[in-house]
Amino acid sequence: MPGQVRVTQQPTLWTLCAAVALALVCLGSVGLLLPSSGSPSLVAPTSVVLVLPIFVSELWGVVAFAVWPLAFLAWAHPLLTGSGIFPARTFVLWAVLQLLSAVWFAAGWQLGLQYEGATFTWGTLVLSVLLSLGALGLGMSCRRRASFPRNLVAHWLLFAWVVTYAFPYLGETP
């Protein structure tokens, strides 16, 4: 229809918007967008990939929030030109992150149950699996039939999973 813009007509704009949305997810992950009790919650799982740099210094904390959207743009740079192909290297990244996330949950499971409770610990595991499999499924779909919108969402979902539920804070909060 006249006047409507198709996503594939402006891939750079859509990709940059996805990076901004990822930055907002980073802020939400540590409870900076919604009122928070200061403890991890299912809405703000306090991802360690964002929190650990804050423990080092406030400057590193700020850097951590900027690194993830920039890493998304660097990793998925073909999206800027409208690529609909989900690259094999992203499947490798997904597999490595999946393994690390599984190790993270296994190592912190008891502490998560003790300090955050069963609802949080099981909830973050379920959400982690759903986001991870969602990214994988969309990626596989792009391998069968290239699609810029699906490729963009698959990559965004992968990075959003990493900064939220892949590595939630499991243990005593400082």
pLDDT tens per residue across span 78-121: 999 999 999 999 999 999 999 999 999 999 999 999 999 999 99
CA torsion sign, 114 to 30 to 48 to 74? positive
pLDDT of residue 150: 96
pTM above 0.85, yes or no: yes
Query: Going by C-beta distance under 8 Å and a sequence separation of 6 or more, which residues neighbour residue 15?
Result: 73, 76, 79, 80, 152
User: C-alpha distances in angstroms, 120 versus 38, 51, 112, 150, 169?
Assistant: 14, 17, 8, 30, 10
pLDDT digits (tens, 9 = 90+) for 19-35: 999 999 998 898 888 76
**What is the H or E stretch that residue 39 is in?**
none
- Strand, coil or helix: what is 32? coil
Q: Cβ of 40: how many Cβ atoms within 10 Å? A: 28
Average pLDDT over residues 134-154: 96
Q: Report the alpha-carbon distance of residue 85 to residue 158 in Å, rounded.
A: 15
Name the least confident of 52-66, 88-102, 120-134.
52-66
Mean pLDDT estimate for the chain: 90
pLDDT of residue 21: 97
Token pair of 53 as six digits: 């740099």
